[in-house]
């Protein structure tokens, strides 16, 4: 089937104009139209005007440190003691029982399992990072490592839900939905909350990015980043049957008919918005094509991110952030790739090998473009892993004694940019890396802190539903000021 890629040059507006104009958003345009109506200033804006513009960019109540978020989700749970939380004691106890009792996790674990990876100090801060993330480690002075994360249970589904929606079981809006609801999005031509996941869905599927009781427009748009073609990435973004000039002629006709209709109805802000939305959709076709087309990046940039799906999806991520997407979540892969109950040495080496370089490239790229300051980068899994070896279970890791179980008592996440302290370590686990013992940070605290950085008081950022004011942090959470620069 023949089809045509519109060149930016063919379009009625230039790309630069487009990027600027889209910053305003059609909601603002609609409101502008309303205001210009004679006497409209005296009239209060109607409720429906506001709903229509509910994706328009909004200012948070406090001065924000971050304007956008990218959450690099290492789904499955990477091991802290093999990545960002070195534990020399494990070498001394390798193969021996820990002096303290093993904490109860999903499955039984045995003796201490030493990390097979070498740690080294990096940067001026001298923070130790394992060889697995030697590229990311080069950016350590921009990174705030939280070594004292805690979740509630050692199971994937509830922990993913907790991390993504602030509640382990009940249908609650995801963090991205809350942020979109609170801040709108700067580019009406792209979804404001995008979830990239190569190969399909993580476990618990779309529950991870649902909007629950928030309006559906705040739900995340899932994109299988294994795809390279735009029409697989965004629904109905391409017209396979009409050439661009033909579609333009069709929309001109539509616009003319709608204008006549509008005049016969003495103008109506909603009808006007609808007319605008077709123009925006028309431009979105090229805008989205542009955002997802990494071949438009110079060779040296693509080189930096590297070949392969992780390089490509993080490069797409940067292009989306640059275009004003508010909240991005990037999963490592479908299912739970980091879940190395056995063969952790091979598994973690392979997984880190896939993402270490692209993540480092993203951090540098954001920094060079002056975007890192306003972009909150978050890295981590739904929990960490035990410092002790997982005992074999028939049907799972039978015959293997070389992996780690889930561990919600203590694990590592890191943040960068968006107003956090670079080259800083917050909190600590015990001497074996089993449990957070110093300045523990619960997921609710992480959420409270994220909202704080975005300019919200998590206790006052609410949504009225079914007779109650709901919060992302429910009745929990406290802002961890020590992380903030």
Partner 1 sequence: MMATESKRTRTVTTWGGCLAAVLLVVSPNASAAQDDRTDDWPPEAISFFEERIRPVLAEQCLSCHGARKQTSGLRLDSRAAILDGGFIEGPAVYLDDPSASPLLAVLRHDSELKMPPDQPLSDEVIGDLGRWVEMGMPWPDDATIPTPEDVADASATHWAFQPIVAPDPPAVPAPDAVATPVDAFLRARLDEVGIAPSPQADRRTLLRRVSFDLIGLPPTPEEVEAFETDPRPDDVAFAEVVDRLLASPQYGERWGRHWLDVARYADTKGYVFTEERRYPYAYTYRDYVVHSFNEDKPFDRFILEQLAADQLDLPPGDPALAAMGFLTVGQRFLNNANDMIDDRIDVISRGLMGLTVSCARCHDHKYDPIPTADYYSLYGVLNSSTEPDTLPLITELADSSGPDRDDFLKQLEEREAAITAFLQTKHDEILLDFRRRSHAYLEAAHLLGSTGEDAGDRRRRNDSVIDQEARARDLPPRRLSAFLEKWTRLLDEAAPETNPILAPWHALAALPAESFAEDAAEALASLTADASAPLNPVIERELTQPETPRTFAEVIERYAQAFSDQTEDGPEEPGRPAIDELFSSESGALAVASLDETRRLLERDERNELRDLERRAAELQVNHPGAPPRAMVLVDTNEPREPFIFVRGNPGNRGPQVPRQFLQLLEGEDRRPFSQGSGRLELAQKIADPSNPLTARVMVNRIWMHHFGTPIVGTPSDFGTRSDQPTHPELLDYLATQFVRGGWSIKAMHRLIVNSRAYRQSSLDRPDAAAIDPENRLLWRQNRKRLELEPMRDAMLAVSGRLDARFGGRPSPTPSAPDGTRRTVYSMIDRTFLDGVYRTFDFASTEVSNPDRPETIVPQQALFLMNSPFVAEQARSLAERCRDEAASDAPADRINRLYRLLYGRPPEPSELQLGERFLGRPDASTGPAPSPWSYGFGRFDEETGRVTHFRPLEHWTGESWQFGAEFPHPEAGHLHLKAEGGHVGNGPDRAAVRRWTAPEDGVIRVEGSLVHRNARGDGVRGRIVSESGGLLGEWVTHDGRSRTRVAAVEVAAGETVDFVVDCLGNTSHDSFAWSPVLTFETPAGSRTTWDARSDFRGPPEAPPTAEEQYAQALLMTNEFLYID
Q: Which of residues 317-356 bind partner 1 (CB under 8 A)?
A: none
Residues 275-304 that bind partner 1 (CB under 8 A): 275, 277-278, 280-282, 284-285, 293, 295-296
- Cβ neighbors of 471 (< 8 A, separation 6 or more) are 458, 459, 461, 462
Q: If you count them, how many residues does the chain have?
A: 485
CB 383 within 8 A of CB 151: yes
Single residue of 20, 393, 468, 485 touching partner 1 by CB under 8 A: 468
CB 34 within 8 A of CB 271: no
Partners of 436 in beta bridges: 429
Task: Return the sign of the alpha-carbon dihedral for residues 131, 136, 142, 143.
Answer: negative
Single residue of 36, 298, 466, 481 touching partner 1 by CB under 8 A: 466
Span of 72-80, 130-138, 256-264, 404-412 interacting with partner 1 by CB under 8 A: 256-264
When asked if residue 251 is in the footprint of partner 1 (CB under 8 A), the reply is yes
When asked if residue 96 is in the footprint of partner 1 (CB under 8 A), the reply is no
Span of 43-51, 111-119, 124-132, 358-366 interacting with partner 1 by CB under 8 A: 43-51
Single residue of 188, 286, 412, 429 touching partner 1 by CB under 8 A: 188
In terms of CB distance, is 219 or 449 closer to partner 1? 219
When asked if residue 152 is in the footprint of partner 1 (CB under 8 A), the reply is no
- Helix, strand counts (H, E) of the chain: 14, 18
Tell me how crowded residue 209 is: count the other CB atoms within 10 A of its CB: 26
In terms of CB distance, is 137 or 454 closer to partner 1? 454
When asked if residue 481 is in the footprint of partner 1 (CB under 8 A), the reply is no
Residues 420-459 that bind partner 1 (CB under 8 A): 457, 459
Q: Which helix (H) or strand (E) holds 221?
A: strand 221-223
Span of 74-82, 272-280, 349-357, 369-377 interacting with partner 1 by CB under 8 A: 272-280
Single residue of 20, 35, 91, 170 touching partner 1 by CB under 8 A: 170
CB 297 to partner 1: min, Å:
11
Alpha carbon distance 419, 422 (integer Å):
9
Tell me how far CA of residue 483 lies from CA of 352, 382, 419, 421, 450, in angstroms. 25, 20, 9, 6, 10
CB 406 within 8 A of CB 419: no
When asked if residue 52 is in the footprint of partner 1 (CB under 8 A), the reply is yes
Alpha carbon distance 57, 328 (integer Å):
16
Alpha carbon distance 413, 422 (integer Å):
14
Alpha carbon distance 437, 103 (integer Å):
14
Residues 208-247 that bind partner 1 (CB under 8 A): 210, 212-213, 215-217, 219, 227-232, 235-244, 246-247
Single residue of 14, 15, 59, 368 touching partner 1 by CB under 8 A: 59
When asked if residue 46 is in the footprint of partner 1 (CB under 8 A), the reply is yes
In terms of CB distance, is 121 or 169 closer to partner 1? 169
Residues 7-26 that bind partner 1 (CB under 8 A): 7-9, 26
Alpha carbon distance 347, 351 (integer Å):
6
Size, binding site for partner 1 by CB under 8 A? 105
Span of 186-194, 362-370, 407-415, 416-424 interacting with partner 1 by CB under 8 A: 186-194
H helical segments located in 238-383: 244-264, 269-292, 299-305, 308-322, 344-368
Span of 114-122, 207-215, 398-406, 413-421 interacting with partner 1 by CB under 8 A: 207-215
Alpha carbon distance 12, 473 (integer Å):
45
Span of 50-58, 87-95, 372-380, 381-389 interacting with partner 1 by CB under 8 A: 50-58
When asked if residue 485 is in the footprint of partner 1 (CB under 8 A), the reply is no
């Amino acid at each position: 089937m023949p089809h045509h890629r519109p060149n930016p040059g063919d379009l009625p507006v230039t790309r630069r104009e487009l990027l600027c104009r889209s910053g305003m958003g059609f909601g603002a345009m609609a409101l502008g139209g309303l205001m210009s109506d004679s006497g409209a200033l005296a009239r209060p804006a109607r409720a429906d005007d506001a709903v229509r513009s509910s994706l328009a960019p909004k200012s948070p109540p406090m001065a924000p440190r971050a304007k956008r978020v990218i959450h690099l989700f290492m789904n499955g749970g990477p091991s802290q003691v093999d990545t960002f939380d070195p534990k020399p004691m494990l070498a001394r106890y390798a193969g021996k029982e820990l002096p303290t009792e093993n904490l109860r996790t999903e499955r039984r674990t045995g003796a201490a399992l030493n990390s097979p990876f070498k740690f080294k100090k990096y940067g001026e801060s001298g923070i130790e990072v394992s060889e697995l993330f030697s590229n990311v480690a080069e950016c350590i002075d921009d990174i705030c490592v939280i070594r004292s994360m805690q979740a509630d249970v050692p199971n994937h589904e509830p922990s993913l839900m907790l991390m993504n929606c602030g509640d382990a079981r009940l249908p609650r809006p995801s963090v991205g939905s809350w942020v979109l609801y609170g801040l709108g999005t700067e580019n009406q031509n792209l979804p404001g909350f995008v979830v990239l996941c190569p190969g399909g869905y993580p476990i618990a599927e779309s529950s991870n990015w649902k909007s629950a009781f928030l309006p559906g427009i705040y739900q995340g748009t899932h994109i299988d980043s294994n795809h390279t073609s735009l029409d697989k990435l965004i629904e109905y973004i391409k017209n396979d049957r009409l050439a661009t000039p033909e579609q333009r002629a069709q929309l001109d006709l539509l616009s003319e008919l709608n204008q006549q209709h509008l005049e016969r109805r003495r103008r109506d802000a909603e009808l006007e918005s609808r007319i605008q939305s077709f123009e925006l959709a028309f431009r979105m076709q090229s805008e989205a094509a542009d955002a997802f087309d990494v071949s438009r990046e110079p060779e040296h940039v693509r080189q930096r991110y590297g070949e392969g799906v992780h390089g490509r999806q993080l490069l797409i991520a940067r292009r989306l952030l640059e275009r004003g997407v508010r909240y991005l979540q990037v999963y490592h892969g479908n299912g739970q790739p980091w879940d190395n109950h056995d063969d952790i040495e091979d598994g973690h080496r392979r997984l880190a090998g896939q993402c270490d370089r692209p993540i480092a490239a993203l951090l540098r790229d954001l920094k060079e473009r002056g975007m890192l300051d306003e972009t909150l980068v978050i890295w981590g899994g739904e929990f960490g892993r035990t410092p002790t070896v997982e005992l074999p279970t028939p049907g799972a890791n039978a015959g293997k004694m070389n992996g780690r179980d889930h561990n919600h008592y203590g694990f590592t996440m890191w943040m960068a940019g968006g107003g956090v302290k670079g080259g800083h370590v917050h909190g600590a686990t015990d001497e074996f890396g089993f449990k957070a013992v110093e300045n523990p940070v619960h997921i609710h605290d992480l959420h409270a802190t994220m909202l704080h950085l975005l300019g919200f008081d998590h206790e006052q950022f609410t949504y009225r539903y079914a007779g109650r004011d709901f919060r992302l942090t429910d009745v929990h959470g406290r802002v961890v000021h020590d992380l903030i620069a």
